[in-house]
Amino acid sequence: MRIRGFDVHRVMVDGGSGAEIMYLDLFRGLGLKEKDLESYKAPLMGFDGKMVIPKGRIKLPVQVEKEEMLVDFIVVDAYSPYTAILTWPWLHTFRAISSTLHQKVKFLTEGRIEEIRGYQVLARQCLIATINHQTPPEGMDEAPPKL
């Protein structure tokens, strides 16, 4: 897909979340500065269970095939193997249907059904990167003993 006119890879579609997220690396890679952000102070819960304070919010055009729409991204400075996360508000506005089993998103455009295909190898690499990056919970200096 294209965000702000740039081809963007490693975008996760998460139909169970309600906030479109852009990670700081992508934000900077798009040539944006913190002065471009609107204020957004509500904390978010990361996938690792830790609270994340957003840097701000920004509306940017997201294009898939010939369809384009403005998406309200919350920008965060946190680790992720993904560059952005699109969630159910984007899916609903885009009138798209996602299948995690098939790693596809399908949508209607100009009277035909288009699809975005996920890449199993890349999805697995992102999962492994996330698992390897996790740190033990606070108060645990080492892994619990095996029983």
Q: Are 127 and 121 in contact (CB under 8 A)?
A: no
Phi and psi at 34, nearest 5°, equal -60, -25
DSSP state, 82? Answer: S
pLDDT score of 141: 41
Q: Are 59 and 70 in contact (CB under 8 A)?
A: yes
**Domains present along the chain, CATH in parentheses:** 2-133 (2.40.70.10)
Q: pLDDT of the chain along its 147 residues, tens only?
A: 899 999 998 888 887 788 899 999 999 999 999 999 999 989 988 766 778 899 999 999 999 888 888 999 999 998 888 889 888 888 888 888 887 777 788 888 878 887 877 666 666 666 676 667 654 444 434 443 333
Q: Which residues contact 137 (CB under 8 A, 6 or more apart)?
A: none
